[in-house]
Amino acid sequence: MKIEFNMFINLTWSKIMALVVLGCATTLDILSVSNGAFLASLPVIVILITGKQLIDWKENNGKPK
């Protein structure tokens, strides 16, 4: 599933899941006594977003749309 707002923003499942992970980690940090879920989730979020961007870039051979 791919939703395009314009040529710069493409929402894919990996980016939606990164947003869900970010929301859950933020909620856990706000509601729990021990903090650290947000910081622990940041590498996962970065990998999901940049990994998908790199895959999309390689599929287009580095050429913009």
User: pLDDT tens digits for the chain (65 residues)?
Assistant: 555 555 566 677 878 888 898 888 888 888 887 778 888 888 888 888 888 778 877 887 766 55
Residue 22: predicted pLDDT = 87
**CA 22, chain centre distance (Å):** 8
